[in-house]
Structure 1
Amino acid sequence: MLVEIARDPQVRVRDLADHIGITQRGVQKVLADLYQAGYLTRERVGRRNRYGLNLDEHFRHPTEAGLPIRLLINLFVARDERDSP
């Protein structure tokens, strides 16, 4: 979900659900968890949300706990840029 938000900070919950393959309610729960944990911020822009990522926040899983999420985001966003025509 973090990668999808990095690709499109104004992505809709409906679109996240479609891309990831979970329900909209599931997306809302994950977004709330990420917000509470400090991984993302939300800003209301008109009728939509704009999300920001805290790229310096570290992964929670013990095997990656010392690594910032920036590494994951940069890996996928850089790949997307290379694959674009």
Structure 2
Amino acid sequence: MSEQAGQWHFLTNHARVLFAIARDPATRLRDIAAACRITERTAQSIVTDLEHAGYMRRERVGRRTRYTLCLDGTLRHPAEAHVPVQELLDVFTSHDNPH
């Protein structure tokens, strides 16, 4: 049995990937995976999920990918559907960019 089996966490991997991209929109997929402690394949799948859900867009710039977050949407779960994505990002990324 894995060390994490039976454990739960407050944040999902989707939220962690969104935070990683918010911190550095030019980050590489392998760096997203490392920061979130997930595999590159999982990170790729989550980026695709986020893009299909309208939370971000990807653009190729040379050999790199640049991510643009779409922050005017709200969270997906009905209990938090009134919470803008921007508010969630502000809570978890504000220490990275002090005002």
1:2 aligns with 2:15: no
Q: Which has the larger radius of gyration?
A: 2
Q: Structure 1 counterpart of 2:59, which letter? A: E
**Residue 61 of structure 1 corresponds to which residue in structure 2?**
77
Higher relative contact order (CA 8 A, sep 6+): 1
Partners of 2:86 and 2:54 in 1: CA distance: 14
Write the deviation string for residues 30-75 of structure 1: whole angstroms up to 9, x where unpaired: 0000000000001100101000111111111121111110001112
Letter in 2 for 1:6: A
Quote the Cα distance in structure 1 between the aligned partners of 2:18 and 2:92. 10
Q: How many residues align?
A: 82
Counterpart residue number, 2:54: 38
Identity value in percent? 49
- After TM superposition, what 4+ stretches of structure 1 lie above 6 angstroms from structure 2? none
Which runs of no fewer than 5 residues in structure 1 stay unpaired?
A: none
Query: Counterpart in 2 of 1:70?
Result: 86
- Structure 2 unaligned regions, length at least 5: 1-16
Cα distance in 2, alignment partners of residues 42 and 81 from structure 1: 23
Q: TM-score, normalised by structure 2?
A: 0.78
TM-score, normalised to structure 1's length? 0.90
CA RMSD of aligned residues (A): 1.0
3-state secondary structure, aligned to 1:50: strand
Amino acid at match of 2:35: H
